[in-house]
Amino acid sequence: MSAFSWHLGQRVRAIPPSAIRRFFDLLETMPDAISLGIGEPDFVTPWHVRDRGIYSLEKGFTKYTPNAGLSELRGEISAYMRRHYDMAYDPKGEIVVTVGGSEAIDLAMRAVLEPGDEVLIPQPSFVCYGPIATLAGATPVFLETLAENRFRLTAEQLRAAITPKTRLLVLPYPCNPTGGIMERADLEAVADVLRDTDIAVISDEIYAELTYGEAHVSLAQLPGMEERTVVVGGLSKSHAMTGWRMGYACGPREVIAQMIKIHQFAIMSAPTTSQYAAIEALRHGDRDIAAMREEYDERRRFVVDALGRMGLPCFEPQGAFYVFPDIRSTGLTSEDFCEGLLRAQRVAVIPGSAFGASGEGFVRCCYAASMKQLTEAMERLKRFLEGTIQLTIDN
């Protein structure tokens, strides 16, 4: 066999490997740990939704769908956006059904970005934006949001980061991993900065249904913002449907048309069974959303209270299903903290550094877990903290 040496693409090679590889490797060896590390609902998809997917299979609906997605589903997405957020998107031309919100982010970036463009990405945030921007040939520029600002993006930060090369802003709210949200006034301040620029926005609103207290506001709801914004949504988190891979993007015709072009050649169409299930979820799932949100809210309050009792400072998260406590008082890096907790107490939480350099000093705990697991995890975390404090005193 002759030796073959791959010439691998510069863009993909430029993507750094996960910053917390060591922690991952360890996690893989401990499947029995209580995991608060996976950011997905612990609920199974509601039965009426699963049943609709099964029924579509019984009927033999196993063919490709139109590239943009079933028109009935686009109609339901449009109705849902209007009902929940008072936003108007035409099912014909302003909506594309994607393989999770993830694909919608990829499509939007590839449709917009050119080599040399800069993409502003607030961090700590979900891990996909930087690599996707890099693959599109653009340069990610990270904006560090701060605990004292409740991890919101401020107008000053945004203004200071804008250069002539800035093409795109990612708005990742409600935020994974911080649980931070942007209220209307915060968005208005951002909109004021954007208005004088030609910067487009990808608003990742995958957690829009999961806010506690204030209802979610989209940047696209503000005057003059809809025409520059692609709203990314999906059913993964709101309807407990991660494995179905159902997402969508809503936005102006011009950009959606280009996104559909990429989707058409790279994906063809989103999974057919999932699209039928999604029709049911959007049409009859509002009560499921409310019931799950109620449960997450109870767990959220429980976890925030428990962390407070342990003396771990924790900003009160107002969205998604994560808490992001500040662990700097332990003197450990977030990766050492997580590794220590996993080894000593068999609880998995994720180092904040996985979500960007500004996540260092924090850890992400996902509270989409049963009360039994959360109670036990909090007990163990408390024991771990007592142990590390003991160690610090001993030294």
Between residues 260 and 332, which has the closer beta carbon with respect to ligand PLP?
260
Residue 379: contacted member of ligand PLP, another protein, none (CB under 5 to 8 Å, by partner type): none
Using CB under 6 A as the binding rule, whether residue 325 contacts ligand PLP is answered as no
Structure tokens at 379: 């007990």
Between residues 213 and 224, which has the closer beta carbon with respect to another protein?
213
CB of 176 to another protein, least distance (A): 8
Identify the helix (H) or strand (E) that includes residue 364. strand 363-366
User: How far apart, in Å, are the Cα atoms of 354 and each of 20, 66, 180, 363?
Assistant: 6, 37, 17, 9
Which range, of 9-17, 234-242, 307-315, 378-386, touches ligand PLP by CB under 6 A?
Answer: 234-242
C-alpha dihedral (258, 261, 234, 91), degrees to nearest 10: 80
Using CB under 8 A as the binding rule, whether residue 24 contacts another protein is answered as yes
Using CB under 6 A as the binding rule, whether residue 247 contacts ligand PLP is answered as yes
Residues 355-384 within binding reach of another protein (CB under 8 A): 371, 375
Could you tell me if 153 and 181 are in contact, meaning their C-beta atoms sit under 8 angstroms apart?
A: no
Using CB under 6 A as the binding rule, whether residue 274 contacts ligand PLP is answered as no
Tokens 């180092």 belong to: 351
Site string for another protein, 34-73 (x = CB under 8 A): ---xxxx---------------------------------
Site string for another protein, 280-309 (x = CB under 8 A): ------------------xx-xx--xx---
Using CB under 8 A as the binding rule, whether residue 97 contacts another protein is answered as no
d(CA 205, CA 229): 12
d(CA 260, CA 93): 9
Residue 114: contacted member of ligand PLP, another protein, none (CB under 5 to 8 Å, by partner type): none
Using CB under 8 A as the binding rule, whether residue 83 contacts another protein is answered as no
Between residues 230 and 350, which has the closer beta carbon with respect to another protein?
350
Could you tell me if 327 and 96 are in contact, meaning their C-beta atoms sit under 8 angstroms apart?
A: no
Residues 231-270 within binding reach of another protein (CB under 8 A): 242-243
Query: What's the sign of the alpha-carbon dihedral 90, 96, 101, 102?
Result: negative
Could you tell me if 247 and 206 are in contact, meaning their C-beta atoms sit under 8 angstroms apart?
A: yes
Pairing of strands 322-323, 246-250: unpaired
Between residues 204 and 288, which has the closer beta carbon with respect to ligand PLP?
204
Using CB under 6 A as the binding rule, whether residue 100 contacts ligand PLP is answered as yes
d(CA 206, CA 276): 20
CB of 244 to ligand PLP, least distance (A): 9
Site string for ligand PLP, 163-192 (x = CB under 6 A): ---------x---x----------------
Tokens 């028109």 belong to: 71
Residue 37: contacted member of ligand PLP, another protein, none (CB under 5 to 8 Å, by partner type): another protein
Pairing of strands 139-144, 118-123: parallel
**Any long-range contacts for 350-355 (C-beta under 8 Å, 24+ apart)?**
350/20, 350/23, 350/37, 350/177, 351/20, 351/23, 352/124, 352/177, 352/324, 353/19, 353/20, 354/18, 354/19, 354/20, 354/127, 354/177, 355/123, 355/124, 355/125, 355/126, 355/127, 355/176, 355/177
Between residues 109 and 206, which has the closer beta carbon with respect to ligand PLP?
206
Structure tokens at 234: 């999906």
* Interface residues toward ligand PLP, by CB under 6 A: 39, 100-102, 126, 172, 176, 204, 206, 234, 236, 242, 247
* Interface residues toward another protein, by CB under 8 A: 24, 27-28, 37-40, 242-243, 298-299, 301-302, 305-306, 350, 354, 371, 375
